[in-house]
Structure 1
Amino acid sequence: MTDSQTPVPGNDESDRRSRRSEKKQRSFWRELPILVLVALVLSFLLQTFVARVYLIPSESMEPTLHGCNGCTGDRIVVEKVSYRFGDPQPGDVVVFRGPPSWDGDFVSTRSSNVVVRGAQELGSLVGLVAPDENDLVKRVIATGGQTVECCDEQGRVLVDGQPLDEPYITMDFDFVPNSLTCDTPIRSGRCFGPVTVPDGNVWVMGDNRSNSADSRFHVADDLQGTVPVDNVIGKAQAIVLPPGRWGLIDDPDIQQR
């Protein structure tokens, strides 16, 4: 037998290992699209029915939620399960789609290019791109059937005649007994109402009362400034970004009984 015909020990085993490796690589590339598709479907289901992360740049919820000019806006987890089994309650911080009269400052983020817009819409389905809708975040103050107004002698919001305990407010319009109230010639900026909330709606206000275009600002519309419960996307449960702001979002029982 010549040298060229002499078998080399281990060649068969090496070939087998090489073939197995190639087969695994081909299997991986065939399975990759399926894995990506499964991940996208799971993401869609979770963000449609369970929870989603939102960034809503607005100063109306300062200091509870950061959204001020020049600061890093809070990214919040909005949980969608609770309100499938019950309605929003006073004190809850909710994200909702603004009714038509709330859309005055809304600007679409979608591209005019059909292809790019299609990609944006697809990205929105799986949570990679923000929804193209006027999503807002406020705190529920009163629910259907309740009457809300401001103010009592101490400048507090009243619901069904009872003052609210609102520890989260640090910024509000001036209210000075006997000098700047709802009965003085120049009224306090706090004053509004009374408004009776229609059944199936909620009255919402920002924690930054002196800088929030909330239900008070829209009281002249067809819904008297209230928001349909059907427009509520979910309850804001926690701040997840930036890291220094991690924590749960407080939802105290604000109505005194």
Structure 2
Amino acid sequence: MSSEAAESAEQAPRRRSAWVFLRDVLVIVLIAALVSFVVKTFVVRSFYIPSGSMERTLLINDRILVDELTPRWAGYDRGDVVVFEDPGGWLPPAPQHPARPFIVEAADWVLTFVGLSTTDAQDHLVKRLIGLPGDHVVCCNTLGQITVNGSPIDELSYLDLPSGDTAASNVDFDVTVPAGSMWVMGDNRDRSQDSRAHQELPGGGFVPLDDVVGRAFLTTWPLDRFGLIDTHDEVFRSVPEPEK
């Protein structure tokens, strides 16, 4: 065998080995992307906080993880911090940004697909769940407290109110939460466009359960704020179930 033929025979296995390696890497990447997509869609999802409506619980630019799985079979509880899609008319029209290069748009789409980018966080809202389906939620009693099914709730442990103000809301309301919906409010009551601010819309200020992504349970960034998100169960413990 000539030297050229021998060299060609040696290069053929090398090319095959390189192709097998690239094929295996591609398969691993595709599997990882699929797993990430499934996790993001059905298990846990990352969001960032774009506004101060949930201060002091959540601050602007906090990164949070949202549990999408547990509420599917266990439901939600009063006090949960929930992330939901705009029910319609809650958010202002999105500003028009200059077109980005195709490669940037493609990269952001891929990162959003696998749950590493939070670009779509601006299309969602985060609030505290105050009223479940059937609950009668009223503001306010003589102490400035909201009542749920006739029971007052003391929210001062988590509300961010102006100095000297103890009223849980400066907007009065008297609502009964319809089936398949929830009544939500921000912890920073004077800076939160929540259920109270949208009662004139067709949805009456209620958030359909179908629009809820899940329950926020962990602040992941910045690191000095890493920790579980408190649902303040003790505040709602005395609330009776709604009358049938």
Judge same fold: TM > 0.5, yes or no. yes
2:139 aligned with 1:142: no
2:163 aligned with 1:170: no
2:234 aligned with 1:241: no
The C-alpha deviation readout for 1:205-253, integer Å capped at 9, x for no partner, is 0111111111111111112111001110011010111111100000122
- Which amino acid in structure 2 is aligned with residue 162 of structure 1? S
Write the mapping of 1:217-228 to structure 2, written as runs, cut at 5 A: 217-228=197-208
- Which amino acid in structure 2 is aligned with residue 140 of structure 1? L
Q: Secondary structure at the match of 1:60?
A: coil
- Which amino acid in structure 1 is aligned with residue 159 of structure 2? I
CA contact (8 A) 1:171 1:208 kept: yes
CA contact (8 A) 2:171 2:196 kept: no
The structure-2 alpha-carbon separation of the partners of 1:39 and 1:170, relative to structure 1 and needing over 3 Å to count, comes to same
CA distance in 2, matches of 1:56, 1:30: 39
CA contact (8 A) 1:172 1:208 kept: no
Aligned length: 226
CA contact (8 A) 1:173 1:189 kept: no
- Which amino acid in structure 2 is aligned with residue 141 of structure 1? I
CA distance in 1, matches of 2:174, 2:143: 17
CA contact (8 A) 1:47 1:126 kept: yes
Write the mapping of 1:55-70 to structure 2, written as runs, cut at 5 A: 55-67=48-60
What does residue 70 of structure 2 align with? 82
What does residue 39 of structure 2 align with? 46
Identity %: 38
What does residue 5 of structure 1 align with? none
CA distance in 2, matches of 1:76, 1:235: 10
- Which amino acid in structure 2 is aligned with residue 62 of structure 1? E
CA distance in 1, matches of 2:212, 2:162: 25
The structure-2 alpha-carbon separation of the partners of 1:86 and 1:131, relative to structure 1 and needing over 3 Å to count, comes to farther
Larger radius of gyration between Structure 1 and Structure 2: 1
What does residue 13 of structure 1 align with? none
The structure-2 alpha-carbon separation of the partners of 1:158 and 1:105, relative to structure 1 and needing over 3 Å to count, comes to farther
Q: Secondary structure at the match of 1:234?
A: strand
CA distance in 1, matches of 2:205, 2:185: 10
Write the mapping of 1:86-235 to structure 2, written as runs, cut at 5 A: 86-107=74-95, 111=99, 117=105, 120-130=108-118, 132=120, 134-166=123-155, 167-171=157-161, 190-235=170-215
RMSD of aligned Cα (Å): 2.9
Gaps of 5+ in 2: 1-9, 240-244
Deviation at 1:145, TM superposition (A): 1.0
CA distance in 1, matches of 2:163, 2:94: 26
CA contact (8 A) 1:203 1:227 kept: yes
The structure-2 alpha-carbon separation of the partners of 1:222 and 1:78, relative to structure 1 and needing over 3 Å to count, comes to same
CA contact (8 A) 2:77 2:132 kept: yes
The structure-2 alpha-carbon separation of the partners of 1:199 and 1:108, relative to structure 1 and needing over 3 Å to count, comes to farther
The C-alpha deviation readout for 1:129-166, integer Å capped at 9, x for no partner, is 33546211100000111111211111111112211132
CA distance in 2, matches of 1:112, 1:203: 38
The structure-2 alpha-carbon separation of the partners of 1:189 and 1:35, relative to structure 1 and needing over 3 Å to count, comes to closer
Deviates more, 1:132-141 or 1:212-221: 132-141
The structure-2 alpha-carbon separation of the partners of 1:175 and 1:30, relative to structure 1 and needing over 3 Å to count, comes to closer
Deviation at 1:123, TM superposition (A): 3.4
Gaps of 5+ in 1: 1-15, 68-72, 182-187
CA distance in 2, matches of 1:152, 1:173: 20
- Which amino acid in structure 1 is aligned with residue 40 of structure 2? Q
CA distance in 2, matches of 1:171, 1:117: 40
